Amino acid sequence: MTDIDTLYIDGRWAPAQGTDSIPAMDSYDETPMGRYRTASAQDVDRAVRAARQAFAGWSGTPLARRVEAVRQIAAELRSLEQALTESISRSVGMPRKLAARIQVQAPIAAWDMYADLADEVPWTSRIGHSRIDLLPVGVVACITPWNYPLHQITGKVAPALLAGCTVVLKPSELAPASAYLLAQAVERAGLPAGVFNLVHGTGEQVGEALTSHPGVDMVSFTGSTRAGRRIASVAGAGIKRLALELGGKSAALVLPGADLAAAVKATLASCMLNAGQTCSATTRLLAPHAELAQVRALLAELLPGYRMGDPAEPATRLGPLVSRAQQQKVLRTIDEAIKAGARPLGGSNDGSRSAADQGSAMRPPAQGYFVPPTVLEVTPDMAIAREEVFGPVLSLIGYEDIEQGIALANDTPYGLAATVWGATPEAALAVASRLRAGQVDVNGAPFNPAAPFGGFGCSGLGRENGRHGIEGFLEPRAIQLPSGYWPQASQD
């Protein structure tokens, strides 16, 4: 990857006017893959103005043509699969084989899924003598994270375009390459000028300028709860529409009589996926006290299978974290938890070894931003039992009875996801229905990309994915009609 000094604004590539050049780092060999010139406040203004100017034409474009454009972008992205996989794997650290399937192929397929679901949106409906029209909200600022870069961009940009909105995208400065490749796909697909715009830079500078711009009607953000609070504050001053997908501290609640081996294996896999850099990862394993000894034995057997190494190597199951700053943050969190009384699985708690060594017998490679797979047995009152770590760290917590297990699963400021494992689906569903989380998996049921995704509490506002994701970029308008008159409904 070479240095990139351009932005995509108003259908053209133009030199970025910012003064900073940010390196995009390889998380394994710790060297720059390239550098990105940041946007200036003037660049942001040009991008928003271009999106504003394009809005009337794009929102008035027939739905069938918007669907066709989204499908064409998906086709162009498929021609860039190899470049997308390499850049995401190297920057984020996910093993390449997984990155190809999860980070690239799945989000590209989602572009077509959104196109398929557009006809299911009730663009025009009737309530009594009122016609209800769903209208695009306007110019949308999409601010996306580094952990699943193309996936998170897709979950915002594709439905926004289908809704008839125009977009200004600011990807994370830690993993911007997939956004650059998407802009190339948009250009090749022939999207009208100004409908999609790309600016690069930090959240503090470019993100803030975008969020506060009076020409932006809606901000759709995925990232930390801390950053989400700031964005909500800035956007709120302008009474902008908000969608926030923030942090999580998701619980896997194992009920008595459940398939313990399956539950432990799936929970650990969820926690370790993408080196723990997943907002919906199950990072708390809640099990009956009577079964904790068996849970410990299963975890101790599974942990060594998470071999650390070069993400390009097929044998690697656990890659590095995205940056040295993230690595050091996670290691400090582990150290603080051990000092507070957390017990590493298979390790002593006497402080004679580093937190990473205590948490796992595996030693990381000499290079790369690695944190070894770590399991800590904790009590519910510890900070690590409630706070998001965003690394390969699983908290094991015991409970006395089902009522306490449910209370512990809900005892978090977050509410993004959860899993319940029971002896039968009926038993698990009865408990799942009592959990305050945006999505709950029962007995290992797979993720459904067409179902709404989002959370309660500090996990954010609004929902993404599927038809709900498109509707998140629409505003209802009610038109009251005189008695005896009803016009021909239109979906455009």
Residue 1 lies in a domain: no
Q: pTM for this structure?
A: 0.94
Domain match, 292 and 347 both: yes
Domain match, 278 and 190 both: no
Residue 18 lies in a domain: yes
CATH of the domain at 83: 3.40.605.10
The string of pLDDT tens digits covering residues 4-22 is 999 999 999 999 999 999 9
Domain match, 313 and 267 both: yes
pLDDT value at residue 414: 97
Residue 62 lies in a domain: yes
Domain match, 435 and 464 both: no
**Type and span of the H or E element at 289:** none
When pLDDT is cut at 50, 70 and 90, the band that residue 2 belongs to is confident
Domain match, 426 and 471 both: no
Residue 449 lies in a domain: no
Residues 6+ apart with CB under 8 A from 323: 25, 27, 174, 369
Domain match, 94 and 191 both: yes
Domain match, 405 and 463 both: no
The lowest-confidence range among 5-14, 162-171, 344-353, 445-454 is: 344-353
Domain match, 218 and 338 both: no
Domain match, 320 and 361 both: yes
When pLDDT is cut at 50, 70 and 90, the band that residue 350 belongs to is very low
Share of the chain above pLDDT 70, in %: 96
Domain match, 347 and 230 both: no
Residue 222 has pLDDT above 90, yes or no: yes
The string of pLDDT tens digits covering residues 134-152 is 999 999 999 999 999 999 9
Residue 489 lies in a domain: no
Domain match, 382 and 398 both: yes
Residue 121 DSSP class: S
Residues marked active site are found at: 245, 279
Residue 116 lies in a domain: yes
Look over the chain and give the mean of its residue pLDDT values, rounded to a whole number: 95
- Both tokens assigned to 199: 């600016």
Domain match, 94 and 226 both: yes
CATH of the domain at 262: 3.40.309.10
- Gap between the Cα atoms of 150 and 78, Å rounded: 12
Question: How many domains are contained in the chain?
Answer: 2
**Type and span of the H or E element at 143:** strand 139-143
Q: Which domain holds residue 87?
A: 6-247+454-480
Q: Tell me the mean pLDDT in the region 262-284.
A: 98
pLDDT value at residue 363: 84
Give the torsion sign (CA, 3, 9, 13, 15): negative
Residue 65 lies in a domain: yes
Which stretches of 220-319 are DSSP H helices? 225-237, 260-272, 292-302
pLDDT value at residue 396: 98
Residue 486 lies in a domain: no
Residue 281 has pLDDT above 80, yes or no: yes
